[in-house]
Amino acid sequence: MRAALELVAERGAQGFTLAEASRRAGVSVAAPYKHFADKEALLAELARTGYERQYERFSAAMAGERDPVEQLAAFAAAYVQFSADSRALFDITFATGLDKQLYPELGRAGDRVLELLREPAARLVRDPAGALDLIHAVGATAHGFAAFLAEGIFGDPAGALEPTKRRARDAARRLVTGGRSG
C-alpha cells in the first residue's frame, strides 16, 4: 500500500501499475493478488483511506472555529492544504474513475466528507435546499483552488500554497456573506 501510494503520487492514479508497485515493495507481481481481487480493488482501498484522512483533517481544522462562517472557511483552507501535502491521496479520490456503484463504501466515504459542512451550512441557511447549495458551492470552490494550485496556475505549488489557502478561505467567506444564499 505504501509503495502503491508513492507510485500514485509520481504517476497519477491512471499511470499506476500493479507491477511497478510490486517491484517497489520488493515483492513479486503475484503477491498483491493474495490481498486484493485485482488492481482496481487496491485502488479503491487506497481511495477509501484517502477519504478517511480527509475527514480527519477537515474536521480537526473546523473544530478550531466556532463561527459557522469561519468553519466553512477553515474547511476550504484545509482542503487546499490536504491537496498539496497529500497529493496522492487527494488525486486518488478524484481522478480514478472508480465506479462508485461497484465500491459503495467509496461513495459513502466521500459523502461523509461533504457532510462535515452540513451543520455550519444549516446554521447559516434555514432552507435545506439552500444549505445544500452552500455546501456544494464551498466544496466546489475549495476543489477549484486545489486543482489550480496543483496545476501550477498560481505558480510554483510549494510557494503558492499559503496564499492559495488564504484565497480559498476568503472565497468561502464571500460565498456565504455575499448576496442571497440559495
Partner DNA sequence: GTCTATATGACGATAGAC
Partner DNA sequence: GTCTATCGTCATATAGAC
Q: Which three cell numbers stand for residue 130?
A: 439552500
Q: Which of residues 36-75 bind DNA (CB under 7 A)?
A: 38-40
Residue of 24, 143, 157, 161 that binds its own copies (CB under 8 A): 143
DSSP tag of 152: T
User: Quick one: which of 12, 17, 52, 143 contacts DNA (CB under 7 A)?
Assistant: 17
Whether the Cβ atoms of residue 69 and residue 124 lie closer than 8 Å to each other:
yes
**Nearest CB to its own copies, comparing residues 31 and 155:** 155
Name residue 7's amino acid.
L
What nine digits make up the cell of 80?
A: 487546499
Which residue's entry shows cell 486545489?
Answer: 146
Taking a C-beta distance cutoff of 8 angstroms, is the pair 14, 95 a contact?
Answer: yes
User: If we measure between CA atoms, which residue out of 106, 107, 109, 53 comes closest to residue 81?
Assistant: 53
Which range binds its own copies by CB under 8 A, 17-25, 46-54, 120-128, 168-176?
168-176
Kindly indicate which of the ranges 31-39, 41-49, 58-66, 90-98 contains the residues binding its own copies, using the contact rule CB under 8 A: 90-98
170 is a site residue for its own copies (CB under 8 A): yes
178 is an interface residue for its own copies by CB under 8 A? yes
Query: In whole angstroms, what separates CA 131 from the centre of its chain?
Result: 20
Contact 61, 85 (CB under 8 A): no
Q: Per-residue contact track with its own copies, 5 to 24, x per CB under 8 A?
A: -------x-xx---------
How far apart are CB 117 and its own copies at their closest, in Å? Answer: 12
Residue with the three cell numbers 510490486: 22
Contact between 31 and DNA by CB under 7 A: the answer reads: yes
List contacts with its own copies (CB under 8 A): 12, 14-15, 94-95, 97, 100, 110, 114, 133, 136-137, 139-145, 147-148, 151-154, 167-168, 170-171, 173-179
